[in-house]
């Protein structure tokens, strides 16, 4: 047995062999280089013709057509070479990033296993013909639902650590859900999905931009619709109209890196455990719940705004809203919302 192990350990390691497609690509590149050298040699005759027969008023029409055709041909070749160069650069970068991602997923941390490799998730989704494949509509709807819930949990913990007490951070009247975080999670996923195997700085900067845009638009929309604000950064440095600021933009950046590098792969792996039929039904159920919840929330906040400005209910429907969603209940749900007087 020892001799066998010794023989195996001393056996020479075979050098890797290129794939057939890569071998063809390499040979085609060599052939292309040779063709360019031949074309460059043939151009010498055109250079000589231009030197001996200058294009004047009595220029040779045939020579003029040949030169113009050669210029156009070289232009087309340059465009195709640029496209080929960009694609091969992208292929090299993607392969290098996926290789690094797989290596990191295999190195388990002592306190928490690393997230699954994105390449593994992509392969499983393709092989199973999964209902939530890539970033299709089902995956995006689930991301919105999970993000709406997870964002409230994270901000509630942050409030507890910062202020020492729990306070509602919900954005909907039913359940611990806030569509700001759901929309933010969707925006981050769509913006960063193609770069999920790249370095963290790209994800950080992209998340700063995307998160700040989402936060600004939501703040502006809330003020336009209801005349209210749920946050105001006017007292913080480097703010823009009090809607966004540099500090919270950095928070968005950190959150985006954690999301696309760690949370999203784990979430995608868990979603893979859902059977296709059940997953589709569950996705539509949570989506309908969010849509109805958002519609009721819009109506209740609108009526709350009217009550703040001493506008009486105009019919029985608004009287029912006043009865079921009085100011005390709304203040508990939207603890930070303030209306302009």
Q: CB neighbours of 50 closer than 8 A, spacing ≥ 6?
A: 63, 67
For the chain, what percent of residues have pLDDT higher than 90?
Answer: 23
Q: What is the mean pLDDT of the chain?
A: 82
Is the pLDDT assigned to residue 296 strictly greater than 90?
yes
Inter-residue contact 218 to 224 (CB < 8 Å): no
Asked if residues 297 and 171 have their Cβ atoms less than 8 Å apart, the reply is yes
Q: For residue 339, what is the DSSP state?
A: E
What size, in residues, is the chain?
A: 341
> For 173-195, what is each residue's pLDDT tens digit?
999 999 988 998 999 999 888 88
Domain extent listing, the chain: 129-339
Reported pTM = 0.68
- Asked if 250 and 260 count as a contact pair (C-beta separation under 8 A), the reply is no
- pLDDT of amino acid 160: 85
Other CB atoms within a 10 A radius of the CB of residue 94 amount to 14
Whether the Cβ atoms of residue 133 and residue 126 lie closer than 8 Å to each other: yes
- In Å, how far are 139, 158, 247, 274, 279 from 128, measured between CA atoms? 15, 39, 43, 12, 13
Quick check: 9 pLDDT over 50? no
**Residue pLDDT, tens place only, 78-90:** 888 888 887 787 7
Inform me whether the pLDDT recorded for 284 exceeds 90: yes
Pairing of strands 244-245, 228-229: unpaired
**Hey, CA dihedral for 16, 21, 24, 29, is it positive or negative?**
negative
DSSP one-letter string for 221-288? HHHHHHSEES---TTSSSEETTTEEHHHHHHHHHHHHHIIIIIHHHHHHHHTTS-HHHHHHHHHHHHH
Tell me the pLDDT tens digit for each residue of 298-331: 999 999 988 988 889 988 999 999 999 999 999 8
- Give the model confidence (pLDDT) of 111-124 as tens digits: 667 777 777 787 78
pLDDT tens digits, 111-168: 667 777 777 787 787 777 788 888 889 999 999 999 999 888 888 888 888 878 877 7
């Amino acid at each position: 047995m020892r001799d066998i192990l010794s023989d195996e350990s001393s056996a020479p390691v075979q050098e890797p062999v290129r794939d057939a497609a890569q071998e063809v690509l390499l040979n085609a590149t060599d052939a292309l280089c040779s063709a360019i050298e031949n074309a460059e040699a043939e151009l010498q005759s055109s250079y000589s013709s231009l030197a001996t027969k200058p294009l004047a008023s009595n220029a040779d029409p045939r020579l003029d057509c040949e030169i113009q055709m050669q210029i156009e041909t070289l232009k087309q070749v340059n465009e195709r070479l640029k496209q080929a160069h960009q694609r091969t650069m992208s292929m090299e970068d993607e392969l290098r990033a996926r290789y690094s991602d797989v290596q990191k997923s295999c190195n388990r941390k002592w306190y928490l296993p690393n997230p699954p490799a994105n390449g593994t998730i992509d392969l499983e989704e393709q092989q199973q013909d999964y209902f939530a494949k890539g970033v299709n509509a089902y995956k995006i709807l689930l991301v919105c639902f999970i993000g709406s819930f997870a964002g409230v949990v994270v901000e509630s913990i942050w409030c507890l650590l910062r202020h020492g007490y729990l306070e509602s951070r919900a954005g909907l009247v039913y359940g611990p859900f806030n569509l700001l975080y759901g929309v933010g999670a969707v925006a981050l996923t769509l913006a960063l999905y193609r770069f999920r195997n790249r370095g963290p700085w790209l994800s950080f900067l992209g998340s700063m931009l995307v998160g700040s845009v989402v936060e600004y638009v939501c703040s502006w929309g809330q003020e336009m619709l209801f005349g209210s604000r749920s946050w105001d950064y006017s007292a913080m440095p480097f703010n823009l109209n009090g809607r966004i600021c540099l500090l919270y933009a950095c928070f968005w950046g950190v959150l985006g890196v954690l999301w696309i590098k760690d949370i999203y792969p784990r979430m995608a792996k868990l979603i893979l455990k859902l059977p296709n039929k059940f997953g589709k039904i569950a996705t539509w159920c949570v989506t309908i719940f969010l849509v109805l919840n958002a519609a009721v929330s819009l109506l209740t906040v609108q009526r709350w705004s009217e009550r703040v400005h001493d506008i009486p209910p105009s019919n029985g429907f608004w009287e029912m809203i006043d009865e079921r969603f009085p100011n005390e209940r709304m203040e508990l749900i939207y603890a930070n919302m303030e209306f302009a007087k």
